[in-house]
């Protein structure tokens, strides 16, 4: 199995963050080959435009075929972010700085053997950049606020659990092949690879994404990360509040509390409840004062979720 040997000081500095590039690669994977029903449903409105783009760009078609195999993604698509809150532009610039030869070397590592003629031509890095830019612009960026909200909600839930469950508990449900083994050992996959020491690493990040299964990101030997499926991808935004709870605290307040089994921001609650921003804020203030919800800032948003008291109210309603 693949195991990273992680120094204790690196564990202490590790963090969760959101990466627009990771979301773009996850979208590219789903466009290429959706595996589960929610990926198929998401892909449906985008697939015809994606096929037209590939038909007009032979190099993009060749790149798509050569960049993925059953157990590996070409390394130029898995560069670990350099900052705590990266933008798509800064992450794309990191790809743009790679040489054509570096791209070709990564493709050969993913698919050994002769490269297609389109991949041997000059300007290969530019083709990669154009492909990623297209996927971001046409499929991810239009829904970025909703995507980012779900990703940050996952981060809040996991960091809130870190103090009580430790890394072993927080990572337990990230991926069936990822687990904290103790003694500084992090299992990252089930591949038959020798252990990898992260003694020279300066960064270890954990990146939630809209994906079926995760992957590793890195920029050897200093930056490493793990991509994992975010919670809440399939959250039902129309779950009704229990009748008893609605009679006790009011229909709208009960509706808000019922939706906070996973962390949500005020703006997300406005969207899913149809209430005004002021009304949602007033109800959250009451629920907070009553001890039924907790809150924590994540990036630009403040996220709210149910406390044990709030959960008991919903379950008993």
CB 44 within 8 A of CB 50: no
SS3 sequence of 67-80: CEECCEECHHHCCC
pLDDT computed for residue 238 by the predictor: 47
Helix, coil or strand: residue 276: coil
What Cα–Cα distance (Å) separates residue 11 from each residue in 180, 217, 289? 11, 16, 35
* Residue of 143, 132, 155 whose CA lies nearest to 296: 155
* Residue of 243, 253, 242, 234 whose CA lies nearest to 40: 234
pLDDT computed for residue 116 by the predictor: 96
pLDDT tens digits for the chain (317 residues)? Answer: 589 999 999 988 999 999 999 999 999 999 999 988 889 999 999 999 999 999 999 999 999 999 999 889 999 999 999 888 899 999 999 999 999 999 999 999 999 999 999 999 999 999 999 999 999 999 999 999 888 878 887 887 787 777 777 877 788 778 778 888 888 899 998 888 899 999 999 999 999 999 988 999 999 999 999 999 987 665 444 455 677 888 889 999 999 998 888 788 887 788 678 788 899 999 999 999 999 999 988 766 788 989 999 989 988 75
State the Cα angle at 61 between 96 and 79, rounded to 5°: 35
pLDDT computed for residue 122 by the predictor: 97
pLDDT computed for residue 252 by the predictor: 92
Give the ranges where 86-178 is alpha helix by DSSP (H).
88-96, 100-110, 117-120, 124-135, 144-170
Contacts with 124 (C-beta within 8 Å, 6 or more apart), sequence order: 59, 63, 100, 103, 104
pTM: 0.78
Separation between Cα atoms, residue 35 and residue 40, nearest integer Å: 7
Strand 301-306's sheet: what is its strand order?
264-265, 301-306, 293-298
pLDDT computed for residue 300 by the predictor: 67
């Amino acid at each position: 199995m693949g195991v990273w040997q992680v120094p204790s000081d690196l564990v202490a500095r590790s963090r969760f963050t959101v990466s627009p590039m990771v979301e773009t690669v996850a979208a590219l994977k789903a466009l290429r080959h959706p595996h589960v029903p929610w990926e198929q449903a998401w892909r449906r409105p985008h697939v015809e435009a994606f096929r037209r783009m590939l038909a007009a760009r032979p190099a993009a078609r060749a790149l798509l075929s050569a960049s993925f195999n059953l157990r590996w993604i070409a390394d130029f698509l898995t560069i670990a972010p350099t900052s705590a809150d990266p933008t798509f532009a800064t992450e794309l610039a990191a790809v743009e700085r790679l040489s054509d030869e570096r791209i070709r070397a990564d493709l050969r590592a993913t698919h050994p053997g002769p490269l297609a003629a389109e991949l041997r031509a000059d300007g290969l890095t530019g083709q990669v950049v154009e492909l990623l830019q297209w996927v971001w612009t046409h499929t991810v960026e239009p829904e970025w606020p909703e995507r980012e909200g779900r990703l940050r909600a996952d981060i809040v839930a996991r960091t809130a659990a870190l103090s009580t469950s430790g890394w072993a508990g927080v990572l337990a449900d990230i991926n069936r092949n990822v687990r904290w083994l103790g003694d500084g050992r992090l299992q990252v996959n089930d591949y038959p690879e020798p252990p990898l020491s992260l003694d020279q690493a300066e960064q270890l990040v954990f990146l939630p994404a809209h994906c079926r299964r995760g992957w590793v990101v890195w920029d050897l030997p200093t930056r490493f990360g793990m991509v994992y499926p975010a919670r809440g991808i399939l959250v039902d935004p129309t779950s009704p509040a229990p009748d008893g709870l609605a009679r006790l605290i009011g229909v709208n307040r009960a509706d808000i509390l019922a939706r906070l089994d996973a962390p949500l921001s005020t703006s997300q609650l406005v969207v899913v409840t149809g209430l005004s921003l002021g009304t949602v804020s007033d109800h959250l203030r009451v629920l907070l004062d009553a001890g039924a919800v907790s809150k924590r800032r994540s990036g630009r948003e403040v996220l709210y979720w149910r406390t044990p008291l709030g959960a008991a109210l919903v379950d008993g309603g």
